[in-house]
Amino acid sequence: MVGNRTRAAIIRSRQITGLDPEVIAELVGLIGPLWQERHQAALASRPRRRAVGAGAKHKLVFVDRLLATLVHLRHGATHDVLACWFDVDRSTITRAISEVRPLLAQQGCTIAAGLRLRTLA
């Protein structure tokens, strides 16, 4: 899990994500509710085996999932490197990127194969 200081440094540094902090805040506002809806729909689609709120909590909050995806798209960082950086398992990063990338594409933020994210356009 990334601390608040580290998260703020990643957001402030345009070299890391390729985007201004205002754009990242806009993406969080646009995509965050979509991610939450999908997550809740996935939970509701299967029968409940435990009480509401029971079970493991997310080790990566949505903002960290978005940042990991943006860094992956910008620099092509491997999932192993991102897992070390965000202090989670590689499978958590893989799942996070596979959840966030389609939501970015829904908002018109697509990346062609072989290209690296330089700006939101």
CB 120 within 8 A of CB 109: yes
- pLDDT of residue 1 exceeding 70: no
pLDDT of the residue at 105: 87
Phi, psi at 100, each rounded to 5°: -85, -35
pLDDT, average across residues 39-60? 77
- Flag whether pLDDT at 114 surpasses 70: no
Average pLDDT, integer, range 21-50 = 87
pLDDT at 112 over 60: no
pLDDT band at 97, cuts 50/70/90? very high
| Average pLDDT over every residue of 41-56 | 77
Q: What is the pTM of this model?
A: 0.80
59 class by beta-carbon count within 10 Å (0-12 exposed, 13-18 middle, 19+ buried): middle
Given the structure tokens 């957001």, which residue do they identify?
Answer: 11
For residues 22-49, average pLDDT: 88
